[in-house]
Chains A and B, each alone.
Chain A
Amino acid sequence: MGAAAYSIQGLRIAPVCDTADMVLVIPSTGNTLQVCRHQYPTFEEFLDRLEELEVDTLVCGALSRDLQYRFAAHEITAIPFICGKVSCVIEAYQAGVNLHECFAMPGCRCMNGRTRRTRRQRHARI
């Protein structure tokens, strides 16, 4: 299992991942670390850094489709439209709770645990 990353703003999940600056990376083993997106000249280099840290899941707030595809191209599955305190979200995710049942952003509950899946993910499930 790879590392999980959380797009954060202060102590909460950042409401908009596209503009968020900070990502908290929690590896399966080892220390938690923060990656600042704007330290990297391009978004591609930021993605390379996440890949280096073996991130395979990103828990975040609102996420545009373009960006989700770019994460998917780096084998990072996004769990978008999540809100709440970072500590609670991490605890729930690590306990295997469906985040969309407890931490969905207002107006996004009807997704009922479904995230927008990319073609790659759909194929992977088949």
Chain B
Amino acid sequence: MEAIGASCSEVFKSSMCGAGCPLLETLQTGKPIIGKSGYIINQEGDKIPISISTAVLKNEFGEIIGGAETFRDLSEIWSLKQALDKRSHVGNLTSKSSLMQKIFEVIPAVAQSPSTVLILGDTGTGKELIARTIHEQSGAKGRFVAVNCSALPDTLLESELFGYKAGAFTGAVKDKPGRFDLAEGGTLLLDEIGDISPALQVRLLRVLQERTYEPLGSTTTKRAHLRIITATNKDLGELCRKGLFREDLYYRINVVNIQLPPLRSRKEDIPLLVEQFIQRFNVLQNKQIDRCSPETISLLMAYDWPGNIRELENVIERSFILCTGQEIEIHHLPQEILRVRQVPVSADIHSAHDLLDAQAIMGALERNNYNRLAAAKELGIHKATLFRKINKLGLQIPKSRS
């Protein structure tokens, strides 16, 4: 009874209601839609995956008099799909790389434990994203707060982390909660932990051990009910040996350790990441770019990515600015990536493979002063195979310097 006369979108509560209404599309085009996926939200707030099919209703004269919509509950299929996807997805993280899948396997267990986590990895490998995923998977009701420890001078960092009371120092006119306060019940990420001063290391050690802290100028102790995740691109073990990082703090934060591989070790993820960035920048920059051309992907795969995923993201962002069509082409890429283009690139699926081959061969030849026999030995292939590949790829090799 409640549904009669009500708007269908308010009855169905489907993700497709509104701008993407399939029934409206069918009524406008006269064409049926079959199996469009989405979800509905039930009264308990659960998302129920569904597929929708639509058709027009016509009278005996062939005139459209309305439309029909059928819903199919996909909960069972979805749960099976999720079980399969679990191996390549965790939260917002997606990867096909075996190195990342090992990390994905431990994240759910890590998320459920309250232990301190240390995330190691080169700059731009996604340390904050991993920390955020651990927070989201943990089901913690508090918020995720990230602090870059190297971005602030020591005195400021202390007040930023622990907060201060009014009158604690000149200019402190009212109480300010610290990041520990803001992350109460949630997760605090201390990024670039390797850069904090010895004095702050001592304070942090105390918080980690006692789970208590005092805001600046306060005489009362506060309890810290939160998970702490630390991240760094530095070798903390080495810093400990040099006496720059406290060993006791290192052992305290290194309860669970996640080592993120650089992008050059997981190049199979590049097409996937590119696709994600394209979707993201389409929304942010209000563009309709569909994809990268196969040649562009080949070049992206051949590049070494010293700046890792952040660099890839910047390259795609730059290409978005220059690209006026629907496809990102080679000429939209920056010079440093175009430099890896040593062989003519063809637009077939083997071009990425060829580029990688060419790069490996050129690298081996350069290291061995263009001695083909030595290069073939280094590459672990027969010299005849090397000659065949050089000819096939059309590489211009200078004569051996020796």
Contacts and interface: CB of A to CB of B under 8 A. Distances in A.
A107 B43 contact: yes
A36 B34 CA distance: 31
A9 to B, nearest CB: 5
A49 interface: no
Interface string B5-28: 011011111110110000000000
A13 to B, nearest CB: 9
A106 B141 contact: no
A16 interface: yes
B377 interface: no
Contacts of B58: none
B45 A68 contact: yes
Residue with the highest number of chain B CB atoms closer than 10 Å, among A12, A16, A19: A16
A62 interface: yes
B44 A65 contact: yes
Contacts of A16: 9, 13-15, 17-18, 41
B227 to A, nearest CB: 14
Interface residues of A, number: 36
Interface string B109-149: 00000000000000000000000000000000111100000
Contact of B41 (A12, A63, A109): A63
Contacts of A80: 45
B284 interface: yes
Contacts of B60: none
A81 B280 contact: no
B46 interface: yes
A83 B10 contact: yes
A69 B141 contact: yes
A61 B18 contact: no
B141 A107 contact: no
Interface string B25-53: 00000000000000011011111000000
Contacts of B3: 106-107
A18 B186 contact: no
Given A80-B45, A111-B43, A61 B141 contact: no
A18 B15 contact: yes
Contacts, number: 79
By secondary structure, the B interface counts as loop
A19 B2 contact: no
Contacts of A107: 2-3, 11, 43
B84 interface: no
B283 interface: yes
B46 A64 contact: yes
A29 B150 CA distance: 39
Interface string A97-118: 0000000011111110000101
Nearest to A104: B2
Interface in A21-68: 38, 41, 44, 61-66, 68
A125 interface: no
B279 to A, nearest CB: 12
Contacts of B18: 9, 14-16, 19-20
Nearest to B139: A69
Given A38-B283, A63-B41, A120 B141 contact: yes
Residue with the highest number of chain B CB atoms closer than 10 Å, among A9, A61, A106: A106
A61 B144 CA distance: 26
B2 to A, nearest CB: 4
Nearest to A51: B143
Contact of A106 (B6, B46, B186): B6
Nearest to A81: B43
B131 to A, nearest CB: 13
Given A44-B144, A83-B10, A106-B3, A116 B44 contact: yes
Contacts of B2: 106-107, 109
A90 interface: no
Contacts of A116: 44-45
B13 to A, nearest CB: 4
A88 interface: no
B13 A73 contact: no
B45 A73 contact: no
B13 A105 contact: yes
A80 B43 CA distance: 9
User: Which 10 A/B pairs are nearest by Cβ-Cβ distance?
Assistant: A65-B45, A62-B13, A62-B41, A15-B9, A106-B2, A73-B143, A83-B10, A106-B6, A106-B3, A15-B17
Interface of A: 9, 12, 14-16, 18-20, 38, 41, 44, 61-66, 68-69, 72-74, 80-81, 83, 105-111, 116, 118-120
Given A62-B41, A64-B47, 7 more contacts: A15-B7, A15-B18, A16-B17, A16-B41, A62-B13, A64-B41, A65-B44
13 contacts: A9-B18, A15-B10, A15-B14, A16-B13, A16-B18, A18-B47, A61-B13, A65-B44, A65-B45, A73-B143, A83-B6, A83-B7, A120-B141
